[in-house]
């Protein structure tokens, strides 16, 4: 059944129960009063700090937007883009699009004006829904964006080149539109990360969306009494489909604006959150503050918090070891996936397998996986090859890009571009991105392995390893090292620490600077290569 049916079901079964809460810490003042004191704040400058909607209101808002779109001629197969920060309107708008049979097209909120135009044209978008933070970017390309497209503004004081969402939906029916949606109908287009060049449009059927939602609920045993804390941007498959476990369970979720350690712990405490999905940098920041004593667990109500899980990038085992020292009773899970696999979970560690931290895990619910060589043949267990996955969440294609589709989809298998190996127990370990492997003097060097080693150093907050040109070896390893606040390290100290590595793996260059990560937590290695003159080594990225 399509995920829209879960929303309709929840509205009938749990009409007056809270579905979504929006928390905006920008409202909280420097006096650090309890957030509950801000429930009734009204301000022309900010939205109320804490807003919530019930399942019934959620469904009604989605229906109103769907009926508005239908009144404007939107039909199955049309495409409606969303470019907004996380807010209480985001998901009702998304589900309103789905209820019409149209295709929802979330845009990365970091896109500049040129990227917005590019993605709108690539995906052949008919309507763009945008929030107040994007007025300037939309306005830059308004003349071209508005040609044949409707621009809808969500917020107060609508710009002249758009129409007001608030005014348009106010008088629309809150009854569900009479549209039949099947698993084979197209449901969404997501975009690859686009950390270099322009992203690709990834087309999914409704079957993919339902698979992701049901898998999330099953993997994390999400129940009616759970409360999920959602921090990452909803345009990303990871955030949205982790939240959809709450949709399937009919349980509450919190949309938090902000990722500072005290903000996260306050949200968990005040809203009694039980499940939290973090990115590696956020988990590191929490641990660093706990180590420094600037955060104290005793200041928060955290006994109900049962699960912390991480995805979107390789997770250093040393990080989870530190986490368990502070939170020994937490279940933990690692989730692996791509936008091409409808986000996280096609491979997952499983909360029962904490002893295998370091692995990305085993094939997820209804998924299969294999590791192959350059000829597409399965490698021996323990050997490194390219990870391939197959399941009901695999994309239909890269929209309007048959060449890239043919390179990635082969005989029903999705070739991920990630290098991996499988141990004797069947657990899959991510070695590195295929394009990130460094070939130095004929030896394959996998940066993730070196990054994990560096992260064990108590002075290092974050680390990235890239290849740089070398006349003799072809490539040499270079480490970008971000130190913890208040820490210092000399090149000699760094080299001494690295003597524990095999000689050929030791970084030949080191740069002490911040490690850039994108909105989903991935290290922006193309940016680092460009910064350090190594971009000519690697072709432009063509995967998420």
CA 361 to chain CA centroid, Å, is 18
* Residue 543 falls inside a structural domain: no
133 and 89 share a domain?
Answer: yes
Name the residue range of residue 524's domain: 437-537
- Number of structural domains, the chain? 3
428 and 472 share a domain?
Answer: no
246 and 99 share a domain?
Answer: yes
334 and 379 share a domain?
Answer: yes
Q: At CB < 8 A and 24+ separation, what contacts does 294-302 make?
A: 295/261, 295/262, 295/265, 297/265, 297/326, 299/265, 300/265, 300/266, 300/268, 300/269, 301/269, 301/270, 301/272, 302/265, 302/268, 302/269
265 and 339 share a domain?
Answer: no
Name, in order, each residue with C-beta under 8 angstroms of 200's C-beta and a sequence gap of 6 or more: 122, 191, 192, 194, 398, 399, 401, 404, 542, 544
Give the burial class of 304: count Cβ atoms within 10 A of its Cβ; 0-12 exposed, 13-18 middle, 19 or more buried.
middle
Pairing of the two strands 252-256 and 18-23: parallel
Structure tokens at 421: 């190996």
193 and 248 Cβ atoms separated by less than 8 Å: no
Question: Any alpha helices (H) in 436-544, and if so which ranges?
Answer: 447-454, 491-497, 525-531
Q: What pLDDT is stored for residue 192 in this prediction?
A: 83
- Give the position of tokens 């955290």: 302
172 and 67 Cβ atoms separated by less than 8 Å: yes
What DSSP line would sit under 187-239, residue for residue?
EEEEE---SSS---EEEEEHHHHHHHHHHHHHHTT--TT-EEEE-S-TTSHHH
Q: How far apart are CA 502 and CA 493, in angstroms?
A: 17
Evaluated on CA atoms 127, 133, 135, 140, the torsion sign reads negative
Domain end, chosen from 433, 460, 486, is at: 433
First to last CA, the chain: 28
* Residue 208 falls inside a structural domain: yes
Tell me, what CATH number does 148's domain have?
A: 3.40.50.12780
Tell me, what CATH number does 457's domain have?
A: 3.30.300.30
Q: In whole angstroms, how far apart are CA 463 and each of 12, 61, 281, 502, 522? A: 49, 44, 11, 18, 12
Name, in order, each residue with C-beta under 8 angstroms of 488's C-beta and a sequence gap of 6 or more: 459
Q: What pLDDT is stored for residue 196 in this prediction?
A: 41
359 and 428 share a domain?
Answer: yes
* Residue 475 falls inside a structural domain: yes
Q: What pLDDT is stored for residue 47 in this prediction?
A: 39
Closest CA to 204 of 445, 393, 460, 366: 393
Cα angle 392, 230, 67 (rounded to 5 degrees) comes to 70
Tell me, what CATH number does 327's domain have?
A: 2.30.38.10
62 and 97 share a domain?
Answer: yes
Beta strands in 5-107 (DSSP E): 18-23, 50-54, 79-83, 103-106
Q: How far apart are CA 174 and CA 46, in angstroms?
A: 27
pLDDT digits (tens, 9 = 90+) for 491-542: 999 999 999 888 888 999 999 999 988 766 778 887 888 888 765 444 333 3
- Give the position of tokens 């991935």: 522
* Residue 161 falls inside a structural domain: yes
428 and 448 share a domain?
Answer: no
228 and 19 Cβ atoms separated by less than 8 Å: no
pTM: 0.82
Domain end, chosen from 392, 418, 433, is at: 433
Helices (H) and strands (E) in the chain, counts: 16, 27
Q: What pLDDT is stored for residue 311 in this prediction?
A: 75
Q: What is the DSSP letter of 108?
A: P
Backbone phi and psi for residue 402, each to the nearest 5 degrees, phi listed first? -65, -30
* Residue 283 falls inside a structural domain: no
* Residue 39 falls inside a structural domain: yes
Name, in order, each residue with C-beta under 8 angstroms of 27's C-beta and a sequence gap of 6 or more: 38, 41, 43, 46, 47, 48, 49
In the beta sheet, which residues pair with residue 334?
A: 310
Q: What is the DSSP letter of 458?
A: T
- Three-state SS string over 293-309 comes to CCCCHHHCCCCCCCEEE
427 and 441 share a domain?
Answer: no
Positions in the chain whose pLDDT score sits under 50: 29-48, 194-196, 536-544
Domain end, chosen from 259, 277, 295, is at: 277
30 and 153 share a domain?
Answer: yes
* Residue 296 falls inside a structural domain: no
* Residue 282 falls inside a structural domain: no
Cα angle 313, 318, 322 (rounded to 5 degrees) comes to 110
247 and 168 share a domain?
Answer: yes
219 and 333 Cβ atoms separated by less than 8 Å: yes
Q: What is the DSSP letter of 438?
A: E
Can you state the angle between helices 206-219 and 3-13, rounded to 10 degrees?
A: 60
Residue count of the chain: 544
107 and 242 share a domain?
Answer: yes
């Amino acid at each position: 059944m399509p995920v829209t049916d879960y929303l309709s079901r929840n509205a009938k079964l749990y009409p007056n129960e809270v579905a979504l809460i929006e928390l905006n810490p920008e409202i909280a003042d420097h006096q650090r009063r309890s957030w509950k004191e801000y429930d009734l704040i009204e301000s022309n400058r900010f939205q109320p700090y804490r807003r919530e909607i019930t399942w019934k209101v959620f469904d009604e808002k989605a229906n109103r937007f769907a009926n508005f779109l239908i009144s404007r001629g939107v039909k199955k197969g049309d495409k409606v883009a969303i470019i907004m920060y996380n807010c209480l309107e985001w998901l009702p708008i998304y589900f309103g699009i789905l209820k019409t049979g149209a295709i929802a097209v979330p845009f990365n909120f970091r896109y500049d004006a040129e990227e917005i135009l590019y993605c709108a044209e690539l995906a052949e978008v008919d309507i763009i829904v945008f929030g107040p933070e994007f007025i300037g970017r939309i306005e830059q390309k308004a003349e071209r964006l508005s040609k044949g497209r409707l621009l809808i503004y969500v917020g107060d004081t609508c710009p002249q080149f758009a129409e007001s969402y608030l005014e348009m939906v106010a008088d629309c029916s809150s009854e569900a539109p009479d549209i039949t949606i099947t698993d084979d109908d197209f449901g969404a287009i997501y975009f690859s990360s686009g950390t270099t060049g322009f992203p690709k449009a990834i087309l999914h059927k409704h079957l993919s969306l339902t698979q992701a939602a049901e898998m999330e609920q099953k993997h994390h045993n999400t129940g009616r009494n759970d409360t999920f804390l959602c921090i990452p941007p909803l345009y990303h498959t990871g955030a949205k489909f982790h939240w959809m476990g709450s949709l399937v369970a009919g349980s509450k979720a919190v949309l938090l604006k902000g990722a500072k350690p005290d903000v996260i712990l306050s949200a968990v405490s005040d809203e009694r959150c039980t499940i939290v999905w973090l990115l590696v940098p956020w988990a590191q920041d929490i641990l660093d503050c706990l180590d420094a004593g600037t955060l104290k667990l005793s200041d928060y109500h955290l006994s109900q918090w049962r699960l912390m899980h991480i995805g979107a990038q390789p997770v250093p085992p040393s990080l989870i070891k530190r986490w368990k020292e502070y939170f020994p009773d937490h279940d933990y899970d690692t989730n692996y996936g791509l936008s091409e696999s409808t986000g996280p979970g096609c491979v997952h560690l499983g909360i029962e397998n904490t002893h295998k931290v370091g692995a990305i895990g085993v094939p997820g619910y209804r998924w299969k996986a294999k590791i192959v060589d350059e000829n597409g043949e399965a490698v021996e267990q323990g050997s490194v090859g390219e990870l391939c996955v197959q399941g009901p969440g695999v994309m239909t294609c890269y929209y309007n890009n048959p060449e890239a589709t043919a390179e990635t989809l082969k005989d029903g298998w999705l070739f991920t571009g990630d290098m991996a190996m499988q141990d004797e127990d069947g657990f899959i370990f991510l070695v590195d991105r295929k394009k990130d492997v460094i070939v130095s003097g004929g030896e394959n060097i996998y940066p993730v392995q070196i990054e994990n080693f560096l992260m064990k150093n108590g002075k290092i907050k974050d680390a990235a390893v890239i290849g740089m040109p070398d006349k003799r070896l072809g490539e040499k390893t270079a480490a970008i090292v971000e130190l913890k606040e208040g820490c210092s390290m000399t090149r000699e100290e760094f080299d001494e620490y690295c003597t524990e590595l095999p000689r050929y793996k030791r970084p030949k260059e080191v740069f002490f600077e911040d490690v850039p990560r994108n909105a989903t937590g991935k290290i922006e290695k193309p940016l680092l290569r460009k910064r350090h003159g190594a971009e000519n080594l690697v072709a432009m990225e063509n995967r998420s």
